[in-house]
Amino acid sequence: MSKFHSNFIFIICIGLLIFSCANRGTPSGGPKDETAPKIVSSSPENFSTDFNGKEIKIYFDEFVKIKNLQRQLIISPPMDPIPEITPLGSASKYITIKIHDTLLSNTTYAFNFGNSITDNNEENPYSYYKFVFSTGSYIDSLSVKGQILDASLRKPEDFVSVRLYEIDSTFNDSIVYKKLPKYVTNTLDSTTTFNLENIKAGQYMLIALKDANEDNKFQQKTDKIAFHKEYVNVPTDSSFTLKLFKEENDFEIIRPRLVSGEKIAFGYQGDYTNTKIQLASKAPEKFNFRITKDPKTDSLNYWFKPRLKNRDSLVFKVKNKEYSEDFTVKISDQPRDSLIMESNPRGTLNFNDDFQISANIPFSKFNRKKLTILDKDSSEVDYKVKLDTLNNSYTFKFDKTESNTYYVQALPNAFVDFFGNKNDTLNYRLTTKTFADYGNVRVTLYNAKYPLIAQLTDKEGNVISELYSRKQEPLDFRHLKPSTYYLRVIFDANKNKKYDSGNYLKKIQPERVSHYTEAIEVRANWDPIIDFTLLD
């Protein structure tokens, strides 16, 4: 064989080898498994009666695992201690439930697994599987159904617990703080409706709970609650609507303490607006004090002078409506805070905004002659000024025009604080845009009850702009930044110009809130008109 032929055959072999390697790949595994696992059998059988065992086994046709059991599993009536369910963190062809609680006689129990059971490979869920048994001779088959709303938000949160408390000789309203309900279900993460099943006939209190700590008991500080005002008589064909609300915390003072020289912080929870802090200790003749709201924490700051020597503590009495409590606060020589002043807004000034100057130490004096406002033409701008003593801020109101620049200058000693500190020269520069840079929204309400509060919010429910109305009239939201807004209307039943939440123990429902169903797109130089018919 010639050298040419030998080389040619060699090249052909190498080429075939490369082609073979290039086409070598992972064999196809076929179509993706999208089939949920199936139950083969259970011991005892589902919907068994006269149950007196301590263990349940549920067998599947493939390996399964359990996910998010703490959130997904609902046992009704609840068991204490909770059953031991395996496997957790591994795969198995069966699920074991070991019961440690003493079961009630003649009672139907239901294990609602939600979406916690999945196959091992693709995690296809066996959705809403429920295992039911009775310790009596029959399965209770009555039900209570309804929907969950949020009193102030467009839609409720996920995983809302719905509960029935039996009205018997042990029942009282405080049971929601202390005990587990007779029956319970969960809205999970895919629906706002509920259906409590396998209930026996009787009279019940119906509530819903967004249980932030997942401890199965109502905690005012963290949880949202909803309740049906009348007791529910089962059987019933009615569908119930429950509105979740966050109660305003009962007022309470928390650990008052000296935080700097002549400044005592009274931490609080609840509504602070009617709080009175009175010094019960003997005070010198020229004793003076001021109270301000801390802008960053839930604290009321009590400022006093002069510095009290030869004292190691002060006694205070704090009152707020029905609340009254005495406190002893230790005091010592500590350095005072340095004066820090801030302005708001900064840079761009909306036509709806007023200019504010605030400080960390209470203001004592303001010299109007030492503060001037000039526009871009150096013309002096007239202004009105108002002091908010609680929030310790001066508000400067003046007329604003389009595409203008305003220069605010405060000369030294324009502001004097509680301890005699004075400002250095302060300079602020503010600009306005054109009216065409903003949008306006006109809202016309139908079937409305007055007075009411109309609010535009962002998608999280934070209020961007609001209007108060006592009569039928167009509501004009002006100079809005281009964005997406949501409209809600609050019926101000007690005419106090603010939204009032409910109270479970006092059986007060939250003030009625109506939500416009569509988002409102606001663009620059665009004026949408919204017609909103409120439902009864």
pLDDT digits (tens, 9 = 90+) for 162-208: 999 999 999 999 999 988 899 988 886 667 899 999 999 999 999 99
Same domain, 426 and 471: no
**To which residue do tokens 């490369």 refer?**
18
Residue 1, domain member (yes or no) = no
Provide the β-strand partners of residue 225.
209, 245
Same domain, 153 and 192: yes
Same domain, 117 and 206: no
Task: Give the number of domains in the chain.
Answer: 5
Domain that holds residue 346: 341-433
Mean pLDDT over all residues of the chain? 91
Residue 272, domain member (yes or no) = yes
Residue 336, domain member (yes or no) = no
Provide the β-strand partners of residue 454.
467, 489
Residue 490, domain member (yes or no) = yes
Pick from 433, 457, 487: which residue ends a domain? 433
Residue 29, domain member (yes or no) = no
Q: 366: domain CATH number? A: 2.60.40.3780
pLDDT the model gives residue 212: 85
pLDDT the model gives residue 32: 67
Same domain, 218 and 274: no
Q: What is the DSSP letter of 309?
A: T
Same domain, 447 and 517: yes
pLDDT, tens only, 16-43: 444 444 444 444 455 666 788 999 999 9
382: exposed, middle or buried (Cβ count in 10 Å: 0-12, 13-18, 19+): exposed
Q: What is the pTM assigned to this prediction? A: 0.80
pLDDT, tens only, 488-500: 999 999 999 999 9
**What confidence tier does 357 reach under pLDDT thresholds 50, 70, 90?**
very high
Residue 505 neighbours by CB under 8 Å, 6+ apart = 173, 174
10 pLDDT more than 70: no
Residue 216, domain member (yes or no) = yes
pLDDT, tens only, 372-407: 999 999 999 999 999 999 999 999 999 999 999 999
Same domain, 355 and 419: yes
pLDDT, tens only, 58-117: 999 999 999 888 878 889 999 989 999 998 878 999 999 999 999 999 999 999 988 889
Same domain, 429 and 445: no
Same domain, 66 and 109: yes
Residue 417, domain member (yes or no) = yes
- 207: its two tokens: 């509530």
Residue 454 CB neighbours (<10 A): 22
Residue 98, domain member (yes or no) = yes
pLDDT, tens only, 287-346: 999 999 999 999 999 999 998 888 899 999 999 999 999 999 999 999 999 999 999 999
Same domain, 399 and 373: yes
Q: 109: domain CATH number? A: 2.60.40.1220
**Residue 231 half-sphere exposure toward CB, CA atoms < 13 A:** 13
CB 200 within 8 A of CB 183: no
pLDDT, tens only, 202-259: 999 999 999 888 777 899 999 999 999 999 999 999 999 999 999 999 999 999 999 9
**Residue 206 half-sphere exposure toward CB, CA atoms < 13 A:** 28
Same domain, 170 and 224: yes
